[in-house]
Structure 1
Amino acid sequence: MLQNESILSVVDNSGAKKILVIRCLGGSNRRYSRIGDLVIATVKKAEANKFTKKEEKVVMALIVATRRYFRRQNNTWIKFSKNCAILVEKKDKKIKPRGNRIFVPLLAEFSQWGYENLFKLKPEIL
């Protein structure tokens, strides 16, 4: 579970390396975010000449891996070694990734949650 001020690794090729969670989306008093949730974050570490403007430093991210256990419907549990996210843009209730590659395996549940366009980037599926 991630909360405000949590630091995440970015696992796509958008240019950001580390982000800090500003706000967990999904309610006014929501404290924690899990795999598959959207968060508002700021870029803390990036590649050279990326995210130079102030508006670009505040981004929206989708959490794809956490160290906290994730329970599947068949009562199996999945745990990742670090907290990871990918940067996304939200337009007309559709989520579009900012990068064009993902460097970690994605859960198969993302297609059930409405993130089918992530699988067009051809990541490994868990």
Structure 2
Amino acid sequence: MVLYLSKLSVIDNSGAKVAQCIKVLNKSPKRSLKIGDDLIISIKKRNIKSKSKVLKGDIYKSVLVHTKKKYRRLDGTSISFDANTCVLLNKNDSLISSRVFGIIPIELVKSQKSRLKSISNITI
């Protein structure tokens, strides 16, 4: 479950590795988040060797992409992932990165966040 102050992995090439959720947007902070929800994060670790677009301690908006908790789809199937992950966004809700590592759930592709579809490798 992703709640307030949860640690998240970042799966894009922005340079961030680990982030911490500091605010949940459009929901109560005590409710767990689902795939595709928006949140505000703080960068805790970054990749030092690469040319990073972010710095430690910076605050960004992000979209939740994977959760460890099982997510039940409308057709009756359920999916879960190994880690809680997110993708960083600008203040204009555009992606900071030019590439996303890993798979993107079909719920994100069909939603208004379809910009993830163009830069992701595989959708499930």
Give the TM-score normalised by the residue count of structure 1: 0.87
Question: Does the C-alpha gap of structure 1 residues 117 and 78 become closer, same or farther in structure 2, counting only changes over 3 Å?
Answer: same
Is 2:40 aligned against 1:40? yes
Q: What is the rounded CA distance, in whole Å, between the counterparts of 1:23 and 1:103 in structure 2?
A: 24
Residue 81 of structure 2 is aligned to residue 76 of structure 1: no
**Residue 53 of structure 1: CA displacement?**
7.8
Give CA deviations for 1:65-119 in whole Å, capped at 9, x if unaligned.
Answer: 010001111010001011111101242xxx3111111111001111322111111
The answer as to 2:105 corresponding to 1:107 is: yes
Residues 87 and 73 of structure 1: CA distance in aligned 2, closer, same or farther (over 3 Å) = same
Asked if residue 122 in structure 1 is aligned to residue 120 in structure 2, the reply is: yes
Please say if 1:18 is aligned against 2:35. no
In 2, Cα distance between equivalents of 1:34 and 1:52: 27
| Amino acid corresponding to residue 6 of structure 2 in structure 1 | S
Q: Taking structure 1 as reference, are residues 76 and 52 closer, same or farther at Cα in structure 2, changes over 3 Å only?
A: closer
Equivalent residue for 1:30?
A: 29
Q: Give the RMSD, CA atoms, in angstroms.
A: 1.7
Aligned counterpart, 1:87: 88
Residue ranges of structure 2 left out of the alignment (5+ in a row): none
Tell me the SS of whatever aligns to 1:86: strand
**Residue type of the alignment partner of 1:113:** S
Q: How many residues align?
A: 120
What are the residue-to-residue correspondences of 1:55-74 with 2, within 5 Å? 57-74=58-75
Per the normalisation by structure 2, the TM-score is 0.88
1:30 shift after superposition: 3.4
Which ranges in structure 1 are unaligned for 5 or more consecutive residues? none
The one-letter amino acid of 2:70's match is Y
The residue type equivalent to 1:79 in the other structure is: S
